[in-house]
Amino acid sequence: MSYSFNRRGRTSGASRSNSSRSFNRGSQRNSFRGSKGRFKYGAQRSNINPAQYVSGPVEVQAEKIYQPQNSFADFGLLPKLLSNVTRHGYTEPTPIQDQAIPVLMNGQDVVGIANTGTGKTAAFLLPLINKLLLDQDQGVLIVTPTRELALQIFEELQAFTVGLRLGNALCIGGMNINAQISRLRNNPHFVIGTPGRLKDLINRGNLKTELFSNIVLDEVDRMLDIGFRPDITFIISHLPRQRHAAFFSATMNRDTEAIMRQLSDNPIKISVKKQESLSNIEQDMVRIKPGQNKADILYEMLIKENEFPKVIVFGRTKHGINKLEQKLDKYGIRVSSIHGNKSQNARQRALQNFKQGRVQALLATDVAARGIDIDDVTHVINFDEPMTYDDYIHRIGRTGRAGKIGKALTFVD
């Protein structure tokens, strides 16, 4: 792809209106509504009432501020770890950190129900790092649904363990397995990975599960959505019976509870899930009228770059995302995309380009975007409707973070 990575340079006025026109004219032929009628969304339709895509005006003052019971210094972390926390810019615990860290420090198992972006990573990393500093003859296994999430946790781990002499290994699909195997030979204290690759490494005898008496399952509901249930069950069955477990999920249902019971007899349940976080997000829907083309409408929005500077666009299928990317790219919108068919490197590059503002829009499927933490996303656009309201909440939670106001627009036809 040939982006010009020049923020302003891309569109001189003339070429912009030109491409705008040809985009619309071309839409007859290039339209996703092909000759057979409609673009395929996949078999199922969304079960969401479109009224749920619309929010009232944003309340600015009404937000209740959580008062943590603890400061980071109260948790009893070793001084060198505490100073890494401070150095990393954390001044006050988030609610899930405030409530889960004491329980994990106490050696009890935790089930944490918390929205994305609420600081779960440090909630389990800090007590477990502390535990390993006190006793290095054990390991911590952290399982997450996606490669990107594993990488984010890995980066947080590195920040918190600077100078602490704890080994680590990132074991995710799409990356060279031999490098991971040789890293595992050093018996790292922390192993972070995705279920498929971890299972593979256990089967090959490279991951010595008997050492991993500490286990974290992150974003369990999504792991189940992606179909990782057999892999998770496999991994759990290889762990020591005596173990310390932390389990995080944004939702709790029969399936997640079944996994949880496999993992732990008597976990402490902590729920800090809040719907109010949506008050930061202005939600609306965009009605697509008969004869209108969704890609054209998206294009008309994105050419107004000042209004739509940093946008995540959700589509339902990899194929749909690819087509949309090609089309927008052709008409001069700087876009990148992440979905399951891309190599790990390509996904990482796409994310970096978006994070650093080299592209204006990131096109994503639900799975690929789960838990991704990107600052200052101005809009989430649901190009295809989400399947469930849960997915909707996850999608729009990419914007309106850190107290900023975000906008969520959902295309409905």
Taking contact as CB under 5 A, which single stretch among the options 59-67, 272-280, 324-332, 368-376 is the one that binds Mg ion?
368-376
- Residue 277 CB, nearest approach to ligand ADP (Å): 11
Coil, strand or helix: which one is 370? coil
- Residue 402 CB, nearest approach to ligand ADP (Å): 8
Phi first, then psi: what are they for 391, rounded to 5°?
A: -60, -40
Q: HSE (CB half, 13 Å, CA atoms) of 309?
A: 11
316 binds Mg ion (CB under 5 A): no
How is the beta sheet containing 361-364 ordered, strand by strand? 281-287, 406-412, 379-382, 311-314, 361-364, 335-338
* Residues 107-166 interacting with ligand ADP (rule: CB under 6 A): 114, 116-122, 152
- Residue 61 CB, nearest approach to Mg ion (Å): 29
Q: Which is nearer to ligand ADP, 22 or 86 (CB)?
A: 86
Coil, strand or helix: which one is 146? coil
Phi first, then psi: what are they for 271, rounded to 5°?
A: -120, 120
Please count the other Cβ atoms lying within 10 Å of the Cβ belonging to residue 181: 16
Q: Where are the alpha helices (DSSP H) in 88-189?
A: 95-105, 120-134, 147-160, 177-184
Q: Find how far residue 407's CA is from the centre of its chain.
A: 18
Q: HSE (CB half, 13 Å, CA atoms) of 249?
A: 22
Q: Which is nearer to ligand ADP, 46 or 399 (CB)?
A: 399
Distance between CA atoms of 189 and 168, rounded to whole angstroms?
6
* Residues 341-380 interacting with ligand ADP (rule: CB under 6 A): 371, 373
Are the CB atoms for 248 and 112 separated by under 8 Å? yes
From residue 13 to residue 52, what is the string marking binding to ligand ADP with x (rule CB under 6 A)?
----------------------------------------
Coil, strand or helix: which one is 282? strand
120 binds Mg ion (CB under 5 A): yes
- Residue 57 CB, nearest approach to ligand ADP (Å): 27
Which does residue 139 bind out of Mg ion, ligand ADP, none, counting CB within 5 to 8 angstroms by kind?
none
For residue 357, which of 343, 328, 381, 377 has the smallest C-alpha distance?
Answer: 377
Taking contact as CB under 6 A, which single stretch among the options 90-98, 166-174, 175-183, 346-354 is the one that binds ligand ADP?
90-98
- Residue 362 CB, nearest approach to ligand ADP (Å): 17
327 binds Mg ion (CB under 5 A): no
Q: Which is nearer to ligand ADP, 373 or 390 (CB)?
A: 373
Site residues (vs Mg ion, CB under 5 A) = 120, 371
Site residues (vs ligand ADP, CB under 6 A) = 89-90, 92-94, 97, 114, 116-122, 152, 371, 373
